[in-house]
Amino acid sequence: MMRRTLLAGLILLLMLGSVVAQRPGAGGAAASSGRTLTVATEPAAIVWLDEVRRGTTDESGKLALSKVTAGAHTLRVRANGFKEITMPVAASARGEIAVRLTRTTDQAELIFQRAETARESARNDESRQQAVELYRQALQARAAFPAAHVGLARVLLDLNNIDGALKAIDAARGTRPSYPEASAVEGRIYREMGQTDDAIGSFNRAIRESRGFQPEAHVGLARIYEEKGEYELSAREFQIAINQLADTEPIIYQMLGAAYEKASNPKEAILAYENYLRLAPNGSLAPAVRSIVEQLKSEPPPDD
């Protein structure tokens, strides 16, 4: 019991605000393999594939995307000082994909980029408030800016400004009625308010709007099911999110392992924890996770 309490406390400190989900797989198995594509663009550019953030390009401007499933995809690339671009990736695409970004003088976009950087690097309420001010400046420069409204909602939620966060989500929908990310963030807001039914409704709306591919919403549902003691359903949702995230968020494996532990399924729990250690061998949770794995392996198997 002590190991679970310790690990739960660490997770609260390390939990990502936006984790970002489609074909469910076996309990603790890693996401299915697929082709690898390499994005070639500006250095330090953020890359999304199907609205899942896959990483940042290196000093040469390249980022390898592994486990890209068959079929067509959508690529989005953003680098500070450049105009963000969204482009299709054909089902036949292989190897390197060149993404040419152009410099921008659009003040709304430039301020928004600064706001995103400030939010992602914020470590205290003062720095989060700075991000709030930048988002508001971006919205003053361009009122119809749904992504800025959602970013503002995220940071206001971090500041426990629930009413402000909900108003920002409503504003985002004012110019983009069908917006999966906005619905997922709305679900997180309702969950923080303790309005479980509303949270489930928003998470399911996000999944519908995205035609099934919305890992943040699946994680949100998983956490609700876990709180309700429905651990098998929780594990199912975590696994869907893992598959959609293509191993980009190791922490989800840890949460999957915890759900299987609570479901009295140590075999799948060990597999999930070992996948976390595979991806984050030096992560902050790694020592605690190793201890759990050792203890689980030393315990007698449960009775059938």
**CATH number, domain with residue 72:** 2.60.40.1120
pLDDT band with cut points at 50, 70 and 90 for residue 23:
very low
* In-domain check, residue 267: no
- Is 68 inside any structural domain? yes
Q: What average pLDDT score do residues 234-252 get?
A: 93
**Residue 222 CA: distances (Å) to CA of 215, 238, 240, 241:** 10, 6, 10, 9
**Lowest model confidence (mean pLDDT) among 13-27, 118-132, 195-209, 261-275:** 13-27
Query: 202-207 — which CB contacts under 8 Å span 24+ positions?
Result: 206/180, 206/181, 206/182, 207/180
Q: Assess whether pLDDT exceeds 60 at residue 91.
A: yes
Distance between CA 235 and CA 256 in Å, rounded?
A: 5
Answer whether residue 235 shows pLDDT above 80.
yes
C-alpha angle 267/273/276, rounded to 5°?
Answer: 150
* Mean pLDDT, residues 97-119: 97
Q: Are strands 52-56 and 46-49 parallel, antiparallel or unpaired?
A: antiparallel
Identify whether 271 is part of a domain: no
Instruction: Tell me whether residue 91 is in a domain.
Output: yes
Contact assessment for residue 28 and residue 278, using Cβ atoms and an 8 Å cutoff: no
- The pLDDT confidence band at residue 268, using thresholds 50, 70 and 90, is very high
Structural element, H or E, at residue 28:
none
The residue ranking higher by pLDDT, 280 or 248, is 280
Q: Kindly state whether residue 27 falls inside one of the protein's structural domains.
A: no
- Would you say residue 21 has pLDDT above 90? no
Residue 2, pLDDT > 70, answer: no
* Strand, helix or coil for residue 167: helix
Q: Is the pLDDT of residue 248 over 90?
A: no
Asked, for residue 106, whether it belongs to a domain, the answer is no
pLDDT for the residue numbered 19: 47
Q: Distance (Å, rounded) from C-alpha 142 to C-alpha 146?
A: 10
For residue range 153-204, list pLDDT tens digits in order: 999 999 999 999 999 999 999 999 999 999 999 999 999 999 999 999 999 9
Say what the pLDDT of residue 251 is: 95
Total structural domains in the chain? 1
Residue 29 pLDDT greater than 80, yes or no: no
Q: How many CA atoms does the CB half-sphere of 87 hold within 13 Å?
A: 15
Residue 74 counted as domain residue: yes
Backbone φ, ψ for residue 285 (5° rounding):
-90, -10
* Mean pLDDT score, 14-21: 42
What three-state secondary structure class fits 235? Answer: helix
Is the predicted pLDDT of residue 149 greater than 90, yes or no? yes
CA angle 39, 106, 172 (to 5 degrees): 85
Range of the domain at 39: 35-98
Termini Cα distance of the chain: 22
Q: Is residue 49 part of a domain?
A: yes
Strand order in the sheet with 62-68: 62-68, 35-40, 95-98
Give the residue from 57, 52, 92 showing the smallest Cα distance to 74.
Answer: 52
Q: Which of these ranges, 6-15, 70-79, 273-282, has the smallest mean pLDDT?
A: 6-15
For the cut 70, the answer to whether the pLDDT of residue 128 exceeds it is: yes
Q: Of 121, 177, 107, nearest to 149 (Cα)?
A: 177
